[in-house]
Structure 1
């Protein structure tokens, strides 16, 4: 019989992502990950410069938008991101307000993407809890049907097949949990790395 919370604890304790191991807190059913839940990122913790949105028109404004869009893409490696930043600076300069606007746009896009993923994790967790409860209820029904004087073995066979199928789905989904929980962390790491690259440009 599957115990969602106990099984999840065992699974999550195998993955730390190189981060401190946090005790899983199942008081929040929307967060099944061992990583500490951070609802929203703070731009001020990553970027020490003013972040007021400013309109940048013309070719420079278009270049800011293009660079920010590229930096948010995970398929763009950090090495390529660094090269794109250097190319941008070579063409448009490294004035702090200009570079700040690049990071503001990167931060907003990544934060929105991360928020969507966090919502997906909540749906995933609640779905797994519901699946676990269905399996438990079916197990109880199976035991009840088995203990009557003349069991209906056809019904028992059908119910057992359904339990086996539901358990297989549950386990298959659990295998994806490590990746699901890593994704917000990877986005945070990338955002911090990009902030460091851009700050280096401003400081230079």
Structure 2
């Protein structure tokens, strides 16, 4: 049920992006996109990330800004005025803006990790379903090879194969779209980092 709920959530995400090279190191990974399990904030932020001491008011402002930055349906261009208002009110301190990035990174990276785990679990379900289809075909072939086939059993197997193949195809089409979500989240994080770095003092 958790996997179905995850797919239902993911199918509402933004449009597709160009595919990347496949990752053949994990045979259970169903996506064309390369599997990158962990992201590093250090690859996106140019200086060491510090944990600044913030007032309750400033931390609330950070949480509000992060909420808009990580709202994936909202183009970052529409968040720019909120970032400008934030820096006007709280300054351009690199530690502060780095903290904003850290909060955004943790939120989207955690979501990305859960999605990758869900995709892997869903892929294992597809593998099991494919094995079930193959086994039913073998059984049906064996039954038909008998001198007196059990046609009731053959009809039952035929219905099972038809239903399972329909489910398998529907899931595969869903996965094609869902597989792009980790890449979209990674691109969003890079864009957030660039946006916040643009607000750093020169």
Q: Which consecutive aligned stretches of 4+ in structure 1 deviate over 2 angstroms post-superposition?
A: 16-19, 52-55
Q: Is the 8 A contact 2:21 2:34 kept in 1?
A: yes
Q: How does 1:48-197 map to 2 (within 5 A)?
A: 48-197=46-195
TM-score where L is the length of structure 1: 0.86
Q: Return the offset for 1:203.
A: 4.1
SS in 1 for 2:190: helix
CA contact (8 A) 2:101 2:193 kept: yes
Instruction: Check 1:101–1:24 CA distance in 2 against 1; reply closer, same or farther (3 A cut).
Output: closer
Contact kept, 8 Å, 2:97 with 2:200, in 1: the verdict is yes
**CA distance in 2: counterparts of 1:112 and 1:83, whole angstroms:** 26
Q: Report the equivalent of 1:22.
A: 21
Gaps of 5+ in 2: 1-15
- 1:127 deviation in Å? 0.7
Unaligned runs of 5+ in 1: 1-15
Q: Partners in 2 of 1:79 and 1:131 — Cα distance?
A: 44
Give the aligned partner of residue 42 of structure 2.
Answer: 44
Alignment size in residue pairs:
187
RMSD after superposition? 1.5
